[in-house]
Structure 1
Amino acid sequence: MKNLYHIAEDVSRASGGVRTVVKDIQIQFPDSKILTTVKDQDDLDIQEFSNKGPWLYSSDLKAHLNGLVSTSIFHIHGVWMHAQYAAAKTAAKSNIPFVLSPHGMYEPWLWKEGRLKKKLYFKGVSSSAFAKARYIHAITPEEQKNLQKLFPKTEVVCIPNAVEIEEMVERKAPSRPYFLFLGRIHPKKGLELLLNVFASLKMLDFDLKIAGPENDHSKELQRLAQQDPRIRFLGEVRGLDKKHLYRDAHAFVAPSYSEVVGMVNLEAAMMGTPVITTHQTGLLNEWSHNGGILINPNREELRNAMVDTSKWTNQERDMAGKKLREFVIKEYSWKVNKPKWEAIYNSMT
């Protein structure tokens, strides 16, 4: 296989799921390299380039890309910043094959934010550059349909996000059962809806724990929740502490308005924890028949799901979590999905 480069404008922990996906693919293909304009200080294996302005323009990254020979493959992650545009233009000029993973950034719900600016950028700048991709990568069948409409002449392939098969950590039943959300705290995650629904369930002897890096939205949510002592904001949680947080939760709840197979849903399921999430996450419908619950992100459906799961005994909870874990291993593990990426990359040689 040719030299494989992953290019994204931001792979810091604050970037959320994109970082997880890019790092996971690099683990599966350890000879590949990650090039970015934003990383964390402890990411010693990632090459970072200086940037400036809201577009994160980087002349250093552009020059580095121009220096890569035609024995390279580019895997471009994301769509809105200079890093992706520069990589696509360089690839076309130097006859370097590339695959583009938008990571859900062209999903209809997200066009509502800065709609006019995004449409102008897509039509005037990025669409012609990205249309030269050998493949455009969708994470769900629904995203595949949306991307094929945007890029009718480019082959759109569907490969879901994937997780490693991991052993479950030992479960320690907490003194009070809790629902858990963990991830990037952003309006599209439906956390305001989650807080309002949970606050209305005053009869539940449960806590709600929310883990994720603090930002302006998390501060706003904390103000909304300050009257309910059952709601706890934990900040960022990593490593083994994160696995235990997943494992000990009665259920994981992610009422997202738009997602492409959120990695946190898969991580929670891998720890044997039942997951309540939405149809809008792009998960297979069979999720609901294999220990998980799929809803629409509205008050009634979320309320019913949380009330129903709160009535589970520990045995019922464990049975649902075990079934969901087995389903995720079958459909979303790297064991199943790595060969799909190998076929894509090898076809670009």
Structure 2
Amino acid sequence: MKRNSFLVAHVSSSLTSSGAGVTEVVYQLSRHQNLGSSLHVVVVGLVDDCWANESSQWSDIETIPFSTIGPKQFGYAKNLTRTLVELNPDLVHLHGAWMYPAKAVLDWHRVTKRPYIISVHGMLAPVALSYGSIKKRIVSYLYQDDVFLNASMMHSTSHQESVDIMTYGLDIPVVQIPNGVVVPKFVRNVEPELKKVITLGRVHKKKGLKNLLVAWSFLESSFPDWELEIIGPDDGGELQILKNLAMQMKLRRVVFSGAVFGDAKWYKYHSASIFVLPTLSDNFAITVAESLACAVPVISSKGAPWEGLNEFKCGKWVEVGEYPLRKGLEEMMQLSSTERLEMGFRGRRWMENSFSWSKIATHFEIVYRDTIIKSTQDV
């Protein structure tokens, strides 16, 4: 352990690609904290069948993986609490809610009296709460509300997520820190020959992809040299629903691609002329930040907190729904390639200046230290 350092344990309900953006945040945050701070960081989390192929990604981070027993949606991992007690961190940073790791952190806290903070990653947004509501009410009664109430602090990535936390009824200090983004060294100077609108992420009904398909159905015939690509893994059977809808509307230039990772993901971003996020609800949407980092202009619905797209003139922030999405796409598709490239360059500069992971990691280190010191003074 680094001299005079605090030990911080990140606890996550997923360390694999099935965790999507949450996994990426945990990885990048822990990696940059290990690289650039005096903290000693350990990551503890649940894994699934993807771990065998993906564990090498975590080779530069001390990681303790746990396989689950029983229903995957509960995420029970034997000896998780005991491991946390034996690990003896000064603070736990819990990522997510509604699954067993949250209870394990609560049990660790009750044994050790040490503090933890929670990043809810959009899980308290009204739309998110509406999915699996019966399960969430049961879990809330059994332990989740106690997990929230015993936390030293909640972390939000945006003003809207801070509002969601307060609306849920939690009278707990909230620190607002955005997620970071990796800014690739490569930056393109020309658009790809095939003009493409892409969206990337879990294919889930909360992502608003039906609105996107309906919007595209009004545009396809007017823009014969453009293609729409929907990239990401199926979540809950939504992919087949979207494919059926595309067939019913007789869409000819819509491509459904599977999940992509690593270099393949960055290639997809660089292949796009426009990135679109039609989401009904997202606390941050790291795919927007990644697109901008690749100098790709973005259209995002107001289901995600990206009002800076308008402020920094690197895209459009539109109301949720098919019609605003259609108008935003039409306006940006009518621009020249040079105009879209200029928008993308402005977005990349914004990401470089405001969303570097090193800055985010430093901000969290300050929060961790203040929380640990305060907890010792309160004893």
What TM-score do the two structures reach when normalised by structure 1?
0.93
* Shift in alpha-carbon separation, 1:60–1:335, aligned structure 2, 3 A: closer
Secondary structure (helix, strand or coil) at the match of 2:106 reads helix
Give the letter for the 1:310 counterpart.
M
1:50 aligns with 2:67: yes
Partner of 1:68: 87
Q: Distance in 1 between matches of 2:271 and 2:147?
A: 46
Report if the CA contact (8 A) 2:270-2:296 is conserved.
yes
What displacement does 1:151 show? 5.3
Matches within 5 A, 1:1-349: 1-30=5-34, 31-39=40-48, 40-41=51-52, 42-44=54-56, 45=58, 46-54=63-71, 55-69=74-88, 71-150=89-168, 152-170=170-188, 173-201=191-219, 202-205=221-224, 206-215=226-235, 216-226=237-247, 227-283=250-306, 285-290=307-312, 291-349=314-372
Secondary structure (helix, strand or coil) at the match of 1:160 reads coil
Query: Which segment is superposed worse, 19-28 or 146-155?
Result: 146-155
What displacement does 1:82 show? 0.6
Secondary structure (helix, strand or coil) at the match of 1:348 reads helix
Q: Distance in 2 between matches of 1:286 and 1:9?
A: 30
Q: Distance in 1 between matches of 2:362 and 2:81?
A: 31
| Structure 1 gap segments, 5+ residues each | none
What displacement does 1:194 show? 0.7
Secondary structure (helix, strand or coil) at the match of 2:67 reads coil
- The structure 1 segments of at least 4 consecutive aligned residues displaced by more than 4 Å after TM superposition are none
Report if the CA contact (8 A) 2:33-2:362 is conserved.
no
Q: Distance in 1 between matches of 2:332 and 2:233?
A: 27
CA RMSD of aligned residues (A): 1.9
* Shift in alpha-carbon separation, 1:240–1:169, aligned structure 2, 3 A: farther
Report if the CA contact (8 A) 1:279-1:294 is conserved.
yes
Q: Distance in 2 between matches of 1:217 and 1:153?
A: 36
Give the letter for the 1:224 counterpart.
L
* Shift in alpha-carbon separation, 1:196–1:149, aligned structure 2, 3 A: closer
Q: Distance in 2 between matches of 1:175 and 1:164?
A: 26
Q: Distance in 2 between matches of 1:172 and 1:225?
A: 30
What displacement does 1:128 show? 1.7
Secondary structure (helix, strand or coil) at the match of 1:99 reads strand
Figure out how many residues of one structure are paired with residues of the other and give that number: 347
* Shift in alpha-carbon separation, 1:239–1:171, aligned structure 2, 3 A: farther
Report if the CA contact (8 A) 2:199-2:229 is conserved.
yes
Secondary structure (helix, strand or coil) at the match of 1:37 reads strand
Report if the CA contact (8 A) 1:168-1:270 is conserved.
no
Q: Distance in 1 between matches of 2:244 and 2:189?
A: 32
What displacement does 1:161 show? 1.0
Give the letter for the 1:217 counterpart.
E
Give the letter for the 2:319 counterpart.
N
For residues 3-47 of structure 1, the C-alpha deviation after alignment (integer angstroms, 9 at most, x for no partner) is 111111222202211111111111112242221122522314332
What displacement does 1:105 show? 0.4
Give the letter for the 1:158 counterpart.
Q
For residues 56-81 of structure 1, the C-alpha deviation after alignment (integer angstroms, 9 at most, x for no partner) is 21222122123232x43211011110
| Structure 2 gap segments, 5+ residues each | 35-39, 373-379
* Shift in alpha-carbon separation, 1:319–1:122, aligned structure 2, 3 A: same
Q: Distance in 2 between matches of 1:260 and 1:140?
A: 7
Q: Percent identity, please.
A: 25
For residues 249-308 of structure 1, the C-alpha deviation after alignment (integer angstroms, 9 at most, x for no partner) is 11000110000110000000000000000122122x232132121011211100101100
